[in-house]
Amino acid sequence: MLFIKAATGAVAVSVLGVALTGCGGSSVEGTYFGTAGDTILVIKSEGECLYSQEYKEGQEIEDLDERDIRECTWTVSGDHLTFSGLVKRGGTVQGTVSDDGSLSLPHQKTWNGEIYTKG
């Protein structure tokens, strides 16, 4: 009986690990820098994230004025990401995890498209 519980726990951990990874097997959690401007996206554990359009190279997100930081949430399914709270007007932003680990958040109704690379 103990073996079955241990095996079930190992499977649950494996499934959770897959859910938090994108293509290529690396975790999507981390700090990403936008290629189209002064933007930063910090994807944290447990579905939390931070976003700012006021990032300057070399700056820590914690050093930004809190009015310039937007709290958001994220989910991942396979290589598809969904963010809530990135745009002021509400709604979600859809994106994908590329094979190289970058995030593609293409142009959408309330979002200007951008590629984010992990720093």
pLDDT number for residue 21: 43
- Statement: residue 35 has pLDDT above 70: yes
Higher pLDDT, 110 or 106: 106
Domain that holds residue 96: 2-118
pLDDT in tens, 70-85: 999 999 999 999 999 9
Total structural domains within the chain: 1
pLDDT in tens, 51-65: 998 888 878 777 888
| pTM of structure | 0.74
Closest CA to 18 of 79, 92, 63: 79
**112: CATH:** 2.40.128
